[in-house]
Amino acid sequence: MPPRRAIRLVRAAASRPKRQRIRLETDQRRAQLLALAKRSFSDRAYDDVSIDDLAREAKISKGLLYHYFPTKRDLYVAGLSEIADELVAAISNVPEDLAPIDRVRRSLDAYLEHITRHARAFVSLMRGGIGSDPEVAAVVEGVRTRLFDKFLHGTPFAPILRGDARFETAVRGWIGFVEHASLDWCTSARLTRDELRDLLADILHQIMRIAAPSVFPQLAK
């Protein structure tokens, strides 16, 4: 190639506007991918979500996505864990200085308000998407354990009731009932939110009469 032509080509290339790439910090990129994962896995079945689609929507290469999450399963579990954290955080904001019955009702209100706004994510969390995966099961069981701990945390009854197998079995069973009733409500609402809250509170009220009779009068106040 003649020297003059080569010089012109170099100058022309230098004068062309360069494509701008948006570079996000590590935490920002991870947050972006988690938000995308939560939305995608809530809207579609696990097998219907592809890494190609996720990378395309995030406007990054598959290689960069794999840098943050080595497999689709890793991304799914991370998104599920964040959904779980958000659900527990919603209930954790309920004041602990309320009377026990008021605290239960406020906690149920916070719980139902959260899943009303994030119904698809809640269903995704509780139903899972990849069969009997141990990490998914651990995330869901972690939610149950943290909700049980919140049930007692800050109450004067904790020293009496914690470790009581009868009480713990009853309350964990009630939490399971709340899960299934909430799933049913999300997919086919036949009660108003207030009606569901009152039903769940009344059932707990009756459970406590049987499981913790020694402290029931105080719990009911």
Q: Is residue 23 part of a domain?
A: no
CA 68 – CA 91 distance, rounded (Å): 30
pLDDT category at 216 given cuts 50, 70, 90 is low
pLDDT of residue 109: 92
Closest CA to 57 of 78, 77, 75: 75
208, with CB counted inside 10 A (0-12, 13-18, 19+), is: buried
Residue count of the chain? 221
Q: Is residue 205 part of a domain?
A: yes
| CB distance 172 to 148 below 8 Å | yes
CATH of the domain at 173: 1.10.357.10
CA 41 – CA 48 distance, rounded (Å): 9
Q: How many domains does one find in the chain? A: 1
Closest CA to 162 of 150, 173, 174: 150
- What percent of the chain has a predicted confidence (pLDDT) above 70? 83
Quick: pLDDT tens for 157-213. 777 778 889 988 998 999 999 989 998 998 888 999 999 999 999 999 899 888 888
Expressed as residue numbers, the domain containing 103 is: 78-219
- Encoded tokens for 33: 């991918």
pLDDT of residue 130: 65
pLDDT of residue 8: 52
Q: Name, in order, each residue with C-beta under 8 angstroms of 162's C-beta and a sequence gap of 6 or more.
A: 152, 168
Q: Is residue 9 part of a domain?
A: no
CA 114 – CA 100 distance, rounded (Å): 21
**Over residues 128-147, mean pLDDT:** 81
Task: Name the helix (H) or strand (E) containing 79.
Answer: helix 72-92
Site of tokens 């406020």: 106
Start-to-end CA span in the chain (Å): 92
Q: Is the pLDDT of residue 147 over 90?
A: no
Q: Is the pLDDT of residue 96 over 90?
A: no
- Encoded tokens for 70: 């080595």
Quick: pLDDT tens for 19-59. 344 556 788 889 999 999 888 888 888 888 899 999 999 89
| Longest Cα–Cα distance in the chain | 98
Q: Is residue 152 part of a domain?
A: yes
Closest CA to 201 of 183, 215, 181: 181
Q: Is residue 63 part of a domain?
A: no
pLDDT of residue 186: 87
Q: Is residue 20 part of a domain?
A: no
Q: Is residue 58 part of a domain?
A: no
What single-letter amino acid sits at 153?
H
What single-letter amino acid sits at 166?
R
Q: Is residue 55 part of a domain?
A: no
